[in-house]
């Protein structure tokens, strides 16, 4: 008895062959000369007349034979596809991660769906925002985010100062140069907040996704290893269509 994965492997080749055969049939039917035949004989008017050989052309393509050949070609495709689809209705497997069954008796069609969706989830996780590694972060329950330790910085203000380059004399005023000095006037205390994730959290999520992806692939392979019952649908269908 064949297995589902064998039927799946065969189906592609059967489909390709049926397409080639049908293309060839259609090509033949489009040539009227292949469908036509003729037979003619010549009889002279009298015994002394010229004798000519008979002429004939056989029919090379018969529509009824084309129908039979088409039915035979498509019957194989219909039967293989039916066998696969019938088996897909019953082929199931458990999704098991680290010895724990997450989901039991999962149909093949849903396992295929999961494989595609988990690929999208993995791409999503890889693009999650990550906390700046240059900062030291701690969870803040009050804001449900992450925050840094307070950092205190000085706020300064430029205050003008006078620098006497030359004292005043009896004949000249004093030479004074104005400059600005940064004078502390206060302190900033800064705490940074972020809604991003630590890199270790992203790595953990990605590892879980990859483990589940592997488990789904194993489950699909197990389900595809189920034995199948050959279905014979083509004879019924084409017995009605071309009978």
pLDDT over 70 (residue 23) = yes
Q: Measured between alpha carbons, how far is 77 from 161 in angstroms, rounded to an integer?
A: 97
**pLDDT tier, 186 (very low <50, low <70, confident <90, very high otherwise):** very high
Give the mean model confidence (pLDDT) for residues 210-229: 92
Give me the pLDDT at residue 34, please. Answer: 64
Q: What is the mean pLDDT of the chain?
A: 88
**pLDDT tier, 35 (very low <50, low <70, confident <90, very high otherwise):** low
**pLDDT tier, 1 (very low <50, low <70, confident <90, very high otherwise):** low
Give me the pLDDT at residue 127, please. Answer: 95
Query: CA 104 from chain center: how many Å?
Result: 24
Model pTM? 0.67
Alpha carbon distances (Å) from 130 to 6, 125, 149, 191, 194: 45, 11, 18, 18, 9
Using the Cα atoms of residue 113, residue 119, residue 120 and residue 121 in order, give the sign of their dihedral.
positive
Which of 71-85, 164-178, 188-202, 213-227 shows the lowest mean pLDDT across its residues?
Answer: 164-178
The segment with the largest mean pLDDT, out of 11-20, 165-174, 201-210, is 201-210
Measured at the alpha carbon of residue 123, what is the angle toward residues 121 and 127, in degrees to the nearest 5?
A: 115
Give me the pLDDT at residue 32, please. Answer: 74
Contact indicator for 199, 133 with CB cutoff of 8 Å:
yes
Burial label, 234 (beta-carbon count in 10 A; 0-12, 13-18, 19+): buried
The 10s digit of each residue's pLDDT in 111-161 is: 999 999 999 999 999 999 999 999 999 999 998 999 999 999 999 999 988
The 10s digit of each residue's pLDDT in 191-201 is: 999 999 999 99
**pLDDT tier, 61 (very low <50, low <70, confident <90, very high otherwise):** low
How many residues comprise the chain? Answer: 243
Give the mean model confidence (pLDDT) for residues 37-61: 79
Torsion-angle region of 2 (φ positive above 0: left; ψ -120 to 50: alpha; else: beta):
beta
Q: How many CB atoms lie within 10 A of CB 166?
A: 11
DSSP bridge partners of 153: 188
Which of 44-53, 108-117, 131-140, 209-218 shows the lowest mean pLDDT across its residues?
Answer: 44-53
Stronger pLDDT, 150 or 172, i.e. the higher one: 150
Burial label, 111 (beta-carbon count in 10 A; 0-12, 13-18, 19+): buried
**Edge-to-edge strand list for the sheet holding 193-194:** 137-140, 145-148, 193-194
Contact indicator for 198, 186 with CB cutoff of 8 Å:
no
Tokens of 128: 């999650």
């Amino acid at each position: 008895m064949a297995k589902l994965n064998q039927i799946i492997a065969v189906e592609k080749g059967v489909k390709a062959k049926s397409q080639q055969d049908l293309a060839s049939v259609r090509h033949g039917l489009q040539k009227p000369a292949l469908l036509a035949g003729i037979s003619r004989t010549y009889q002279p008017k009298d015994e002394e007349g010229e004798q000519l050989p008979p002429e004939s052309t056989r029919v090379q393509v018969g529509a009824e034979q084309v129908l039979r050949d088409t039915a035979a070609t498509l019957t194989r495709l219909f039967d293989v596809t039916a066998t696969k689809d019938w088996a897909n209705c019953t082929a199931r497997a458990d999704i098991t991660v680290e010895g724990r069954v997450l989901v039991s008796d999962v149909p093949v069609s849903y396992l295929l769906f999961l494989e595609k969706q988990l690929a999208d989830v993995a791409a999503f996780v890889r693009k999650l925002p990550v906390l700046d590694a240059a900062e030291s972060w701690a969870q803040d329950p009050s804001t449900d985010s992450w925050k840094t330790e307070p950092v205190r910085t000085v706020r300064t203000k430029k205050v003008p100062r006078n620098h006497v380059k030359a004292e005043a004399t009896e004949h000249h005023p004093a030479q004074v140069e104005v400059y600005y000095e940064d004078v502390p006037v206060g302190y900033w205390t800064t705490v940074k907040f972020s809604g991003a994730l630590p890199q270790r959290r992203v790595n953990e999520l990605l590892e879980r996704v990859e483990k589940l992806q592997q488990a789904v692939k194993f489950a699909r392979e197990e389900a595809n290893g189920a034995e199948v019952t050959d279905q014979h649908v083509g004879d019924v269908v084409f017995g009605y269509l071309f009978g």
